[in-house]
Each structure stands twice: as structure tokens, then as C-alpha cells.
Amino acid sequence: MKKLIILLLTIYTIFSLSAFAEEYIAFRALDGEIQSLVVPEGISAEEYANIYNARHPGVQAEPDDERYLMAVPSDPMYMQVQMAYELIHASEAWNFAPHQQVGEPVIVAVIDSGCNVYHEDLKDRLLTGYNVVYDSTDVVDNFNHGTAVCGLVAAAANDLGAVGVAGNFDVKILPIAVVKASGGISASHVAKAIEFAIAQGADVINMSLGGKGENALEKAAVEKAIAAGIVVVSAAGNEDGTSYYYPASYDNCISVGSCNAMGVIAQSSVRNDKVTVAAPGSYIASTSNAGNDMYGTSYSGTSFASPIVAGVCAMLKAAAPTLTAQQVKAVLEKTATDAGDIGRDDYYGYGYVNAKAALLSVLSLSEEEAIAANRLLCQARELVLIEDTLGVCIELPKTEEIHPFVIFETYDENARMLNRQLLYQTGNAAISKTFLASKNAKTVKLYIWTDMHPLCDVREFQIEVTSNENS
């Protein structure tokens, strides 16, 4: 039985700018290599770049902008963490794995603080990484950030601990470390990391980091990756404001905001016209660098929403390898579950990502055809659905080892979610519960699965609510 192992509660703080005591300039040398230089005391990075450019014709040096990891403080009291996956219908999307194209695995480059390469849920998913800062293959994660990000993308579905959003799809992770010992990140190192990912044949790049201000080297690297067909995903930023953070705000980059497991946008999630979609990023469970069998349960911030979207992108590339970066972005926008204001808004972008709808879109299958083709055998008994004017009564039969879950959602006439409730059978006794439909509800959806395995049969029922007078 797949169990969520809760062993570590991690509290994050945002890296302050004081971590970046030294300033740098960066440039592409005449031999094509990206280089950086420490700015002498008593002069600004911009002034030093101008002096360097005047002395070296043909070189365009610029201040090496600061980037930092997009984690936020979190409260360890909330334990229902991986339920957030159900908001984006991730487990239902795993049923479509038989439709992925046979061939090379999809490679997701995770540009971050490194990774615990010996973790039980990651070791079989990892390719040999690269440390840009020290020009080595040592990607040890000293900040317990990259390890969690890697786990959210593709922790193995192996009955151990957590599972990544990519589930049972054929995905490999390429960890690329860019964080210096001080905790600082240089935009030039990010650019180098992107170029390394391109050279290694990455299909998707995730960057759960960012900073204010465009950087020419970084922007050029992002554009090069997108032109090569690589999907670039990045955290929108953690701020109760509207600032533009980069690389997320570059054109054609998928900028990801953070919501909770109920789909409510986080106050600390940046809102602006570059946000593409949102994804769960509050109190998320994932792999930890504290031990090879350790897990954290309170990861929060756009840092942890971004890899969830990257994992969905990996599933799309596995199902349809010829998709361009722009096409993947368009699919996410078209199939997202609308939230906030009707249509696109600066909080959610086009809504929170919907893994199942995105896969159905690229597979060109109707939902009925996909479920019929991919329904997996499960020993769970049928659930009994009884409609009345007050709502829907769900009866969970007595079971021995399999514990059913039910998510109950109601939608209005514009297909916008009104409320969402969970029923989970923890014991073996039969359970009966009546879910009340909201007054304005027009449609009720029920998502049913079990904790036996993430690949268990998933069934969806829609019931038109014909009377709400007594709701």
C-alpha cells in the first residue's frame, strides 16, 4: 500500500539580499563561454560593466543579476498535503500512461540547489547532474530545496513515500546546481545551466528561482531553449504584489503561481499579466535531503507549484513528443480549470493546471474513450450514488484493505467550482455521507479512487442538480 511517510517538517525563510554581499558582472567572451568577474569595491556593477565594455570591444558585459530560491515560510501543522494533486486531476492523468510514445524518456532539467541523488524515491529517476558553480558533477543539495523540487516532478511510483506529478510516465530528472555556498544565485549561472540542459537534450526545464530585472544572458538562454522545443517553466515569484520576476516573466516561459489544495491562490503568489497558470504550492509533501528515506511535509511557495506544472508538461511531451514549447503552453492555457475572475486574470493566469484535461487534449481522445482504454483493474467495489434535492449521498461499502477516497465538487452554470469536499474511509466499516450541493450549483462531479496504488481505477460521475430550493 502506498503510504505518505511524514518524517520531517521543514520551515523555510526567504533568502535575504544580504546573502549577496559581492557584486559581479557577466558577459559572453569572444570564445562563446559565459564568464563573470567580481566588481571591485567602490564602484557599482553597472559602472564596472561600462568600463569593461570600453576596454574590450565586442564584449557586452552587464551586471550579473541576483536570483534566489522561491520558497516561503510554512506552518507544519497541516498534514493533508498530497491531496493537492487531486485538485489538478494528476492521479486520473496517470491512467493515460499507456498512450505515451515508446522511446527515450522525457528529460526534465531541474535548475536549482542540487539533489539528494541517493534518495529512495529519486535515485532511479536521475541522470548524472552538473554543478555550474563548481564545474563538477557533485550536485549535493545543501539547502533542501532542489531535492523537494525534483521529487514533485517525478518521485517514483514505487510504494515508498511520496510520488511525483509525472507518476508512472517515463521521465528522468537532470539535476543542475546553481546555488553558491552563500545561498546566492547569479543570472549568468542560470544561463549556463540552461545551455547545459539544451546540450543534454532536455525536454522540459524547471526553475524554481528568480529575481527582479531582466538579464540579457539569461534571456538569450531561455529563448534558445524555447527555440529548440524545450518547455521552460518557472516560479512566478513570492510577493504580495505585482512585480515581474525572471526568468518566469520572459516571453513564452510558463510562469506558475501558487494556490492551496482547495484552489485558493496564495497571498504570497505574485500577480501580474505574465502568470500563465497556478498549481498547488502550499504545504506540499516531497522528498528531502535529510536522509535517503526522509520526506518533508510543509514545502510552500511558488517554488513548489512550478515543478508540479513541469511534471504535467513532462507527461504531455511523453504523450506527444513533437509538441513545441509554445504548443505545450497553449494546451495548459486552454485546459486549465478557470478560477478567480472569469477568463484569464493576474492571480491565476488561465486557472489552475488540469493534468487530465491537458492529456486528453493532446491525445485527441474523448474522456469516455480514454477511460475505457486505460481503466485498470481494481478490487474496490462500486460506490452507490443516490440523488435528491439536498445533495448526493455517498455510501462506501465495508472493505478489508482498500480505503476509498471521494472528492465531491459542485459547479455553477459557467463551469466554475463552487465548493469541494473530501470523504476518506480510514477503517473497514461502511460509511454513508450526504454532500449538500450549493444553491447555485448546476453540476456535481465525484472523483473516486483508492489508496491501494496511484494507478487504481478512477471513475467520474456527473449528475445534473435539478432542484436546489431546499439547499
Query: Where would I find the beta strands (DSSP E) of 281-440?
Result: 284-287, 295-299, 384-388, 391-396, 404-411, 417-424, 431-436
Give the pLDDT score at 453.
36
Question: Over the stretch 263-274, which tens digit does the pLDDT of each residue have?
Answer: 999 999 999 999
Catalytic residue among 89, 99, 119, 145: 145
Indicate the angle between helix axes 325-335 and 302-319, nearest 10 degrees.
110
Give the H or E element holding residue 463: strand 459-464
Report the candidate in 364, 396, 368 with the shortest Cα–Cα distance to residue 380. Answer: 396
Residue 56 neighbours by CB under 8 Å, 6+ apart = none
| DSSP bridge pairs for 174 | 109
pLDDT digits (tens, 9 = 90+) for 206-258: 999 999 999 999 999 999 999 999 999 999 999 999 999 999 999 999 999 99
CA-nearest of 269, 225, 212, 197 to 66 is 212
Per-residue pLDDT of the chain (471 residues; tens, 9 = 90+): 222 222 222 222 222 223 345 789 999 988 899 999 988 888 889 999 998 998 888 899 999 988 878 654 332 322 334 568 888 988 888 877 877 876 789 999 999 999 999 999 999 999 999 999 999 999 999 999 999 999 999 998 777 778 889 988 999 999 999 999 999 999 999 999 999 999 999 999 999 999 999 999 999 999 999 999 999 999 999 999 999 999 999 999 999 999 998 899 999 999 999 999 999 999 888 999 988 988 887 899 999 999 999 999 999 999 999 999 999 999 999 999 999 999 999 999 999 999 999 998 888 755 554 444 333 222 223 333 444 434 555 555 555 554 555 666 777 778 777 777 666 555 556 656 665 666 676 776 666 554 433 333 444 455 444 443 333
- CA atoms 15, 18, 19, 20: torsion sign: positive
The secondary structure element, H or E, covering residue 407 is strand 404-411
Please pick, among 64, 89, 91, 112, the residue that the annotation labels catalytic. 112
74 burial level (CB within 10 Å; 0-12, 13-18, 19+): buried
Contact between 349 and 275 (Cβ < 8 Å): yes
Does the annotation mark 471 as catalytic? Answer: no
> Positive or negative, the Cα torsion across 332, 334, 337, 341?
positive
* Alpha carbon distance 289, 113 (integer Å): 11
Active-site hit among 249, 282, 298, 303:
303
Burial-class residue 350 by CB neighbours within 10 Å (0-12, 13-18, 19+). buried
Which domains, and CATH codes, for the chain? 24-63 (no CATH), 68-367 (3.40.50.200), 384-464 (2.60.40.730)
Instruction: Decide if 453 is catalytic.
Output: no
31 given a catalytic annotation: no
